[in-house]
Chains A and B, each alone.
Chain A
Amino acid sequence: MPHTLNKALEPFLIIVGSLSVSMVLFGAFVAAAGANPFEVYQTMYRAAFGTSFSWQNTLIRAAPLMLTALCTALPGYLGLIIIGGEGAVVMGGLFAAIAALTIPDAPPMVVLTTMALAGMAAGAIWLAIGGALRHYRAVNETISSLLLNYIAIALLNHLVTSTFRDPESLNHPSTHHIGEANMIGLIPGTDLHWGLAFGIVACVLSWFLMHHTVFGFSSQIAGGNVRAAQIAGLPVGRLILIVCCVAGAAGGLAGMVEVAAIHGRANDTLNANYGYAGILVAFVARNNPLAIIPVAVLLGGIRASSGLLQRVHELPDATVLVMQGIIFLVILFSETLYGRFSRMPKEGAA
């Protein structure tokens, strides 16, 4: 009984412990930069969670991160380290906009559905390329997915300055606007767009898929030991492709939301580094789709607090990047702690 309790508590305690250590380290950094760490934390809390405006500010920043974190988290079950979320977002946003522009007269619901499907398909294909190269050609998926990000950005810049350019977007090349009627709108009673709901639903569904279906179980087996999975007759290649597609679809949906909820067009602002921030979220959440939700909110809060840190304490924007970096490293180091706590009592008893 204590053993199972340990097992359930272990990840929680290690993550909380890591975050505490990170806060101490960051506090030391802030003190070295000449600010009072307690005041800084107080400001950060106020900016991120202190008022209803702060909460909305935090959640709106967390929304895309939930989706982009899935780009890294889901392939992680198969032992793949894919960091191509940025490319999936860019491609998703680009093709969602293009899809909307091909059916200008359709009713808004049809346009939005088409945009979502097109965006998810584009993101899915983009990440699946990395997965396919891994499985069929043994190309390192981390490198290929990273490089595919640059290709996606180049393709976006090329298409919005040529074929799909709104000629009136003189100094900021963009596609045509998808039309105000086709914008996705806000969650009633809030200042939050629907991207947040999509993010939460996607995380919950992904968790269900990976933890409560045969498909998810097979994926975990394949991630644990490819050879064993193949001997057991599992279609490893197909699993990799499908998981990468699901992951990419999440990223593509994030891009679609950027276009349909905020910009109304596709342009270089799609390349806003949500994909890279999502990697951090996935790592901290240890690839667990349910854990992604609170971690994304935490990171959204850290980002939301940057403004007030700058204005109140005159700290540079890089301060929050330092904090993110510290958290990332401490969490990575904490990986070595897994398994030690459950063993210790046994050794003590023996």
Chain B
Amino acid sequence: MVSDPSVRHLPWSPELALETIGAHSARRGPLLPVLQALQETFGFVDQRAVPLVAKALNVSRADVHGVLTFYSDLRSSPPGAVVVRVCRGEACQAVGGRALAEHATRSLGVDFGQTRPDGSLTLDEVFCLGNCALGPTVTVDGHLHGRVHTAELDRLVQDSAPGGELA
């Protein structure tokens, strides 16, 4: 998703959901943009939004579910307070990306695609961020960082944590 992570996500509200859906429902091929907008508003696509989207766009709930589960950007549960993404593409592998990925899961205590039970952090994998001559590359809360090895990752995560005790 292209969203500014510093913008706080709003708590669920059916009225706000309908308003968000309505803002994009007249676009051509609206289903994906609508789901992206919902995620931008709420941080994820709440299950309660699915029937609302289906009704507004005159598609089945299965259609909505299908799109929601196809795209790796779209979340069905809230992300952690900090979102770390590690590039696993070949160009980053060539400069230590595999070791960085292993370090990330070990030191952060979560697997790729997982959020810590306390909601403090989500770790995601991404296949290429287009920073292939300055890898290994990660994003922390949407900010791109190049030439990140294990120590830099620890520092970046530390700096991003509100209380500074994430890593």
A binds B: no
User: Which A residues have a C-beta under 8 Å from some C-beta of B?
Assistant: none
User: Which B residues have a C-beta under 8 Å from some C-beta of A?
Assistant: none
